[in-house]
Structure 1
Amino acid sequence: MTADDGTLLDLVRASDGSIVMDGARLTAADLALQARATAVALAARGVGPGDAVVLVDDGSGAELLRCLLAAWSVGARAALVSGTADEAEVAAVVRQTGASLLVRRSPRASDGANEVAFRDLSAQHASAVPPGGCAPDDIALDVASSGTTSAPKCVSYTHRALRANVEAIGRRLHLTPDDVLYSPLPLSVAGVLCMVVLPGLRAGATIHVGRLASARVAAAHGHIQLARPTLLYAVPYVYDLLSRKRGASVYDRLRWAVCSSSPLPAPTFDRLWKHLGVPLRNAYCLAEAATVTLNTCTDPDEIRETVGTPLDGVEVAVEQDAESGAGPEGRLIIRGTSCGLGYRQDGRLVPFSGGEVRTSDLGLLRNGLLTVTGRSDRVIQVAGRNVDLSLIRRAVAACPGLGDFEVVADQHPRLGAVPVLLAEARTLTVPAARVMAFCRTVLHPADMPREIRVLDELPRTITGKVRTAAGGVNAAAGTTPKPHHDGRGDGR
């Protein structure tokens, strides 16, 4: 059996690495021993092979990681939920996964749910052998999608699939025991577990995990100064927050700055490159297919414009629209070892058709390098014409002084779906009227945003991604925006 065929639990137990969370350092051996004790407590509560456990990251830190390993030790699977999730979102994950136990720092016992506190799973029976165990083809994680473009869904992954993905990431980044990996994002972000914690433990490296909120950027900067990481993992919004912190560079040892996003506009990308001393490396990550590609190119243009080449064992295909005919762009189809099994629905697994993930992302492949160009589900009908919100966003991104923004669809009482531009006040340095004037120079009249809403803060997920689903637009409408209309009547 190769390393790629083992379980994630095997990976942790064999590791010489360590992890720093909540100010305390734990070796992988310490973590495995604690997890063994917690597994006894889980088994005592009836959790066993095939069961699901939902773990809420509400400030629990190392306790959450210990409980995750304990769930694997008894053959169960786990779902990690952000501590910022509301009760409806937590209940949706419990319902979708069919979880038999919900674990968080302060149980609320709402609606008779089977809940327990992390502290109550600290069994003192470390010498006892936990029942069950896990095999490579057992399900390890039910990963919840971010909910940026639709309602969150849970995707099931086997140990084998995630182990192969973790091994491929480690090989691509050439991680060694001398590396120090840091992410200011919380453990409930799937990318932190699969791009930082597990690859770091695989390499025997040191891992630091935080829980960044915008108000705690100074604290995160201090953590980076202490850790002096060789790899930093975040999303562009968080990198932007960190880059605004002035003072001596804390990135003198940095080899890799990885972010899971599409490439940034060139001015933003170059500013962050200068600040960090290394370029941002884009990874194409999906809730349905883990890490698909990772950019380790050396050519500056390829670094800026692409998300790199597929990882070992992953295939990306471009399905072109038969009606539109020629052109290299098409819908992205993912196959191979990184793919999840399917979605969870009321505890049942609904497998992906054909074992492949048919995304709503559009992209193209050149010389093996993937460029993500937009989303097929970001197309709306305006006055009988297809309007691609992704193309509007790309054109408007060149507007000087615009700062952080997003283009979303909103419902007009007479016109139906219309484009609306959301701009964040703290980064907008020009009047909204000037932005609208710029839009008129680069957009077809039918593509023009119906209005510009200047918000105190864009509606974001825990990772800083802007919510473009209806819920995000509604949330934006509730933040007292300052609208600027395009000046046309409702006849349009």
Structure 2
Amino acid sequence: MTRADNKLAADRYDTLYSEFRWQVPASFNIAEACCARWAKDPSRVAIFHEDDAGHTGTLSYAELQIEANRLSNVLRALGVSRGDRIAIILPQRPETAIAHIACYQLGAVAMPMSILFGPDALEYRLQNSEAIVALVDQAGMQNLGEVRHACANLRHIIAIDCNDSDALDWHAALSGASADFQPVATRAIDPAVLIYTSGTTGAPKGALIPHSAIIGNLTGFVASQNWFPREGDVFWSPADWAWTGGLMDALLPSLYFGKPIVGYRGRFSADTAFYLLEKYGVTNTFLFPTALKMMMKAHPAPREKYALKLRAIMSAGEAVGDAVFNWCKSALGVIPNEMFGQTEMNYIVGNSAQQWPAKPGSMGRPYPGHRVAVIDDDGHVVKTGETGEVAVNRHDIHGHPDPVFFIEYWKNPEATRNKFTGDWCRTGDLALVDQDGYLWYQGRADDMFKAAGYRIGPSEIENCLVKHPYVINAAVVPKPDAERGNIVKAFVVLTPGALRSKEADDALIAELQAHVRGKLAPYEYPKEIEFIDELPMTTTGKVQRRILRLIEQEKAQNGR
């Protein structure tokens, strides 16, 4: 990137925002938009892939289409039809993209799930979704095997590089299938993806997302990536393709524009990040603030060691902060564009430093096509500078439907209704709007929080802790942390029979942490546990997590 390329342009926000119009066709399918139309060019690269053992490869759009056709035929032969849910428990590998394209063109619903999910997390989602087929590799096979017997609707498992007599072998199944497939016709509003999102109360909710949502994401993606695509653009992000951030902010939009994306199977580290950025000539990326902090500390002056081609960085999940913002600007030569969104309506607010000035620490402005406001409990827009809940209207400023929205929460009409106040869809996040129209994050309206970029719902962790024989009750809250934004902290009430001493407490804390880590995802286990005689409760018996959060915030402010 040249210095001229990265200079701040004049503020073009008002023009871009006011002149934008949605163009959503009645008939639309993600598979056609993200693969089929590019597959005619055999030289066009879809995915560069590599793992931590050094194995590398390239998948073209033509190869992606052929393999997706084979998988669609395999799934159809297994009885999969329009609307059926297909679990995709895979990391960043070519088969993940193949699975998504195969599901979409079959009219099925792709249900991505992280390979980090433990047995309990997998079991709930598989049971609730009534998924009939699961696609998995060795990273998720053991945990899936533990719960398969409890998932009555799960008829088939297709396994990649796994020696399992009860599963179909991916390679064998696809090699015997036809490479020709006639895609089903879908409407833009038909369901395409089911992603479960953690909440503060009750079980995780499945957000059912239509094909049109990818279109709704595009204005934010293009803007935050400094007007993607350009000639020679290559995308990479460590964000898991099983999450909205990896799927809708990285994989699918890169494929939508016919550009290559790098898929890496392995643990994130600062050295690995710079290695991949340099090796593949990555121009565009999505990096959590936590990742950027690790990279900044490991390599304060990265361009002295690495030949980088970065021209755009999007960051989300927590505030970037001045230190990281200034490091990106000076050390990488790129002003990071912060973004805000959620699974139900993604990529709605953010920055585009080459089109309008970025304010460090601000969430940014509503992206073109999205009517965003800060509202009170009754759904009224609050005054400038006042705190309220961030909400998105079903219609843009021209009165046209915004295609970014989810359809509903799966089998949960009450939660779907509660998500809306009139035409306003509530995010659950608090913010204020300044005189220039920039939003500033003020915290969660409920008890959900972000830790190291992951969205944490306390209920699932608390339920897991209470399953331990020595735990009577538990409350999970965020503890402020300079590195991760927050860490997961649990306040735990023990049974009278639990032995108490310094050594016993330390041992039990380690046991509880391992208990949660083994049942849920590793990022959900409480990094800190404090034993407490009783939890603060309301008169109706609800845990007052707010009190515990305030305690932790006060401790952080006092340096304790």
Q: Which amino acid aligns with 1:169?
A: F
Does residue 363 of structure 1 match 2:402?
no
Structure 2 counterpart SS, 1:205? coil
Residues 1:35 and 1:298: Cα distance change in structure 2 (over 3 Å): closer
Over 3 Å counting, the alpha-carbon distance change for 1:348 and 1:25 in structure 2 is farther
Distance 1:244 1:148 in 2: 33
Q: Does the 8 Å CA contact 2:278/2:309 hold for their aligned counterparts?
A: no
Q: Which moved more, 1:366-375 or 1:343-352?
A: 343-352
2:111 aligned with 1:111, yes or no?
A: no
CA–CA distance in 2 between the matches of 1:223 and 1:316? 36
Aligned to 2:250: 196
2:444 counterpart letter in structure 1: R
**1:95, 1:346 within 8 Å by CA — same for their partners in 2?**
no
Alignment equivalent of 1:376, drawn from 440, 445, 449: 445
In the alignment, is residue 14 of structure 1 matched against residue 68 of structure 2?
no
Residue 263 of structure 2 corresponds to 209
User: Is residue 290 of structure 1 aligned with residue 355 of structure 2?
Assistant: no
Paired residues of 2:217 and 2:347 also in contact (CA < 8 A) = yes
Quote the residue 1:446 is aligned against.
none
After superposition, the Cα gap between the structure-2 partners of 1:273 and 1:151, relative to the gap in structure 1 and judged at 3 Å, is farther
Shift of 1:288: 1.4
Distance 1:371 1:251, change over 3 A: farther
If each structure's strand is expressed as a fraction of its own residues, which one has the higher value?
A: 1
**Alpha-carbon RMSD:** 4.0
How far apart are the structure 1 equivalents of 2:446 and 2:487?
13
Which position in structure 2 is the counterpart of 1:262?
318
Q: How far does residue 478 in structure 1 lie from its aligned partner after superposition?
A: 9.2
Quote the offset at 1:151 in angstroms. 4.9
Q: Equivalents in 2 of 1:71, 1:181: separation in Å?
A: 23
The 8 Å contact of residues 99 and 347 in structure 1, kept in 2 or not, is answered as no
Taking a change above 3 Å as real, the CA distance of residues 460 and 191 of structure 1, as seen in their structure-2 partners, is farther
The gaps in structure 1 that reach 5 residues or longer are: 380-388, 415-452, 488-492
216, 224, 235: which one pairs with 1:164? 216
Q: RCO (CA 8 Å, sep 6+): is it higher in 1 or 2?
A: 2
Map 1:45-444 → 2, pairs under 5 A: 45-57=78-90, 59=91, 61-105=93-137, 106=141, 108=145, 109-111=148-150, 113-119=154-160, 120-121=169-170, 122-123=173-174, 124-130=176-182, 132-145=184-197, 151-166=203-218, 169-170=221-222, 173-175=226-228, 176-214=230-268, 216-246=269-299, 248-250=304-306, 252-297=308-353, 302-320=358-376, 327-335=385-393, 336-345=402-411, 350=416, 352-353=419-420, 354=422, 356-366=424-434, 367-378=436-447, 403-404=483-484, 406=486, 411=491
Measured in 1, the distance between the counterparts of 2:92 and 2:238 equals 15
One-letter code of the match for 1:110? H
Aligned partners of 1:166 and 1:194 also within 8 Å = no
The answer as to whether partners of 2:492 and 2:529 remain within 8 angstroms in 1 is no
Distance 1:135 1:179 in 2: 30
Q: How much does 1:360 deviate?
A: 1.4
Residue equivalent to 1:37? 70
Displacement of 1:118 = 3.8
What amino acid maps onto 2:186 in structure 1? C
SS at 2:135's partner residue? strand
Residue type at the aligned position of 1:371: W
Question: Could you tell me how far 1:212 is from its partner in structure 2?
Answer: 4.9
Distance 1:69 1:342 in 2: 22
Change in CA separation of 1:132 and 1:11 when aligned onto 2, cut-off 3 Å = closer
Which is worse superposed, 185-194 or 349-358? 349-358
SS of the residue aligned with 2:358? helix
Q: Are 2:277 and 2:308, in contact at CA under 8 Å, matched by a contact in 1?
A: no
Tell me how far apart the structure 2 counterparts of residues 374 and 63 of structure 1 sit (CA, whole Å). Answer: 38
In structure 1, C-alpha distance between the alignment counterparts of 2:429 and 2:65, rounded to whole Å: 39
Alpha-carbon distance in structure 1 between the residues aligned to 2:388 and 2:416: 26
Question: How high is the TM-score relative to the length of structure 2?
Answer: 0.64
Percent identity over the alignment? 19
Any idea what SS the aligned residue of 1:24 has? strand
Moved more, 92-101 or 144-153: 144-153
Kept in 2: contact 1:290–1:338 (CA 8 A): yes
**Structure 1 contact 313–337 (Cα < 8 Å) conserved:** no
Contact (CA 8 Å) 2:492, 2:530: kept in 1 or not? Answer: no
CA displacement at 1:75 relative to structure 2 = 0.6
Give the Cα–Cα distance (whole angstroms) in 2 for the partners of residues 298 and 128 of structure 1. Answer: 44
Q: C-alpha offsets along residues 447-474 of structure 1, whole Å, 9 cap, x if unaligned?
A: xxxxxx9xxx9x999xxx997xxx654x
Q: For 1:302, what is the secondary structure of its paired residue?
A: coil
| SS of the residue 1:275 aligns to | helix
Shift of 1:406: 2.5
1:331 to partner: Cα distance:
0.8
Take 1:363 and 1:18, find their aligned partners in 2: how far apart are those partners?
A: 38
Q: 1:8 to 1:131 in 2, by over 3 A?
A: closer
Structure 1 residue 24 corresponds to structure 2 residue 63: no
